[in-house]
C-alpha cells in the first residue's frame, strides 16, 4: 500500500466538490496537499487549508504548463510527490444541433474545444508532468513511486442529451487509463480512472433540468 503520511499530493479542482472531499481525505492520511484551482477559488481553498492544518494553494489552469510545474514544485517542497488526483473540469449542456435547423444554431465548436481542452488535455498535461516528477522519487519496498487518479464519468459510457462535449472528454480520460497505466507501471507509478455518477457539485448545479 502506498504510504501517504509525510508525502505531498496534488488535487486539481481541489477547492470544491469531489476535489475538496479528496483534499480532506488526503490530509487525514497525513499528506501535505496542494490545491490547484483557479484564482477566484483562493478564499475557499485557504479556508479548507486552515481547517485541515496546512498545505498550499497554487492558482492553476491545468492547460497552462508553467502553472502546473509551479504546483508540482510547491508540492515537492513539502515532501515527495506521491499522489495526484485530477478532478478539475467543466461541463456544458448543448445539443449537437439547434431547433431551427440553421448552421448557426449547431453546437458551438469553440465550446466543444474548450471542454475537451480543460477536461481531457488538461488532465493529461497534469499527468505527464506530475508523473515525470514522481519518477524521480525513491521507490518504496514494493517498488512504488506514486499514484495518479483521473476523474472520468459515467457519462463516458452513458452520456445524456446535451452532454456531447463533456462525454467526449470523459471518454477520452477513460480511454487513456489503461495505456497510461502500462506506460507508467514500469517505473512504479499507478494510474487509473474513476467514473462517478451524478452528485451535487458546483458543476452540476448549473445543468438545466431538461439535460439532467
What amino acid positions are annotated as catalytic residues?
Answer: 166
CB–CB of 10/73 below 8 Å? Answer: no
How far is 192 from 134, CA to CA, in rounded Å?
A: 15
CA-to-CA separations, 132 to 30, 115, 139, 171, 174, in angstroms, rounded: 23, 25, 14, 24, 21
Vertex 70, ends 69 and 72: CA angle to 5°? 65
Amino acid at each position: 500500500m502506498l504510504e501517504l503520511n509525510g508525502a505531498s499530493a496534488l488535487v486539481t479542482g481541489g477547492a470544491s466538490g469531489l476535489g475538496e472531499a479528496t483534499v480532506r481525505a488526503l490530509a487525514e492520511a497525513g499528506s501535505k496537499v496542494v490545491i490547484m484551482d483557479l484564482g477566484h477559488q483562493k478564499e475557499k481553498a485557504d479556508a479548507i487549508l486552515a481547517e485541515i492544518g496546512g498545505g498550499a494553494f497554487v492558482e492553476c489552469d491545468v492547460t497552462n504548463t508553467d502553472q502546473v510545474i509551479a504546483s508540482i514544485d510547491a508540492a515537492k517542497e513539502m515532501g515527495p510527490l506521491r499522489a495526484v488526483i485530477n478532478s478539475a473540469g467543466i461541463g456544458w449542456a448543448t445539443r449537437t444541433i439547434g431547433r431551427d435547423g440553421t448552421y448557426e444554431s449547431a453546437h458551438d465548436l469553440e465550446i466543444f474545444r474548450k471542454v475537451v481542452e480543460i477536461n481531457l488535455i488538461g488532465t493529461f498535461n497534469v499527468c505527464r508532468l506530475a508523473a515525470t516528477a514522481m519518477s524521480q522519487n525513491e521507490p518504496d519496498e514494493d517498488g512504488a513511486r506514486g499514484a495518479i487518479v483521473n476523474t472520468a464519468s459515467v457519462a463516458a459510457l452513458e452520456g445524456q442529451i446535451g452532454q456531447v462535449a463533456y462525454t467526449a472528454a470523459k471518454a477520452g480520460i477513460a480511454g487513456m487509463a489503461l495505456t497510461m497505466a502500462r506506460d507508467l507501471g514500469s517505473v512504479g507509478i499507478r494510474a487509473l480512472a474513476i467514473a462517478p455518477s451524478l452528485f451535487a457539485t458546483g458543476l452540476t448545479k448549473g445543468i438545466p433540468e431538461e439535460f439532467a
